[in-house]
Amino acid sequence: MGYAHEYADAIMHRGRVPMDPADYVPNWQDGPRKAKFYPGADSFPLPDAPYPADATLDRGLCAEGAPEEGEFDLVTLSGMLRDSYGLTGRRLGVQANTDLSALPFYPLANWSRGSASGGGLYPVAVHWVSGPSGPVPPGVHYYSTRHHTMQRLLTGDVTGRVRAALGEGAPGPETDQYLVLSIKYWQNAFKYNSFSFHAVSMDLGACVQTWRMWAAARGLAVEPALWFDEARLAELLGVDPEEEGIFAVVPLKWAGYHGSSGQGCAASVSVRRKDAERSRTVLAFDALLRMQAATSADATARPAPGALAPAAAHPADPAAEEVGLPPARPLETDVRTALRDRRSSFGRFEARLPVTRPQLAACLAAAVAGSRLGGDTGDVRLAKLYAFVSHVEGVAPGSYAYDPERRSLRRVKEGRPGEFLQRNYFLANYNLEQAGAVLVPTVRTTAVLDAVGDRGYRLVNATVGAVAQSLYTAASAVDLGCGVALGFDNISYIEELGLDGTGEAPLLIMMIGNERPAPADFRYEIA
Site string for ligand FMN, 380-419 (x = CB under 6 A): ----------------------------------------
Closer of 158 and 202 to ligand FMN (Cβ): 202
Binding residue (CB under 6 A) for ligand FMN from 152, 253, 343, 444: 343
> Does 15 participate in binding ligand FMN (rule CB under 6 A)?
no
> Does 468 participate in binding ligand FMN (rule CB under 6 A)?
yes
Characterise 205 by phi-psi region: left (phi > 0), alpha (psi -120 to 50), beta (else).
Answer: alpha
Contact 364, 324 (CB under 8 A): no
CB of 34 to ligand FMN, least distance (A): 11
Read off the DSSP letter of residue 267: T
Distance (Å, whole) CA 433 – CA 468: 19
Binding residue (CB under 6 A) for ligand FMN from 183, 202, 331, 421: 202
> Does 222 participate in binding ligand FMN (rule CB under 6 A)?
no
Q: Are strands 322-323 and 43-45 parallel, antiparallel or unpaired?
A: unpaired
> Does 460 participate in binding ligand FMN (rule CB under 6 A)?
no
Closer of 118 and 374 to ligand FMN (Cβ): 118
**Element at 418 (helix H, strand E):** helix 418-423
Distance (Å, whole) CA 233 – CA 256: 25
Distance (Å, whole) CA 151 – CA 143: 6
CB of 278 to ligand FMN, least distance (A): 20
Contact 142, 154 (CB under 8 A): no
Show contacts with ligand FMN in window 78-137 (CB under 6 A).
112, 116-120
Stretch that binds ligand FMN, among 45-53, 207-215, 357-365, 483-491 (CB under 6 A): 483-491
Site string for ligand FMN, 36-75 (x = CB under 6 A): ----------------------------------------
- End-to-end CA separation in angstroms for the chain: 48
Binding residue (CB under 6 A) for ligand FMN from 60, 139, 245, 465: 465
Stretch that binds ligand FMN, among 25-33, 261-269, 485-493, 494-502 (CB under 6 A): 485-493
At 401, the amino acid letter reads A
Count of residues near ligand FMN by CB under 6 A: 21
> Does 440 participate in binding ligand FMN (rule CB under 6 A)?
no
Q: How many CB atoms lie within 10 A of CB 524?
A: 13
Q: How many CB atoms lie within 10 A of CB 444?
A: 23
362 SS3 class:
helix
Distance (Å, whole) CA 72 – CA 46: 14
CA-based angle 464:192:93, to the nearest 5? 75
- Residues within the interface to ligand FMN (CB under 6 A): 112, 116-120, 199, 202-203, 206, 343-344, 427, 429, 465, 468, 483-487
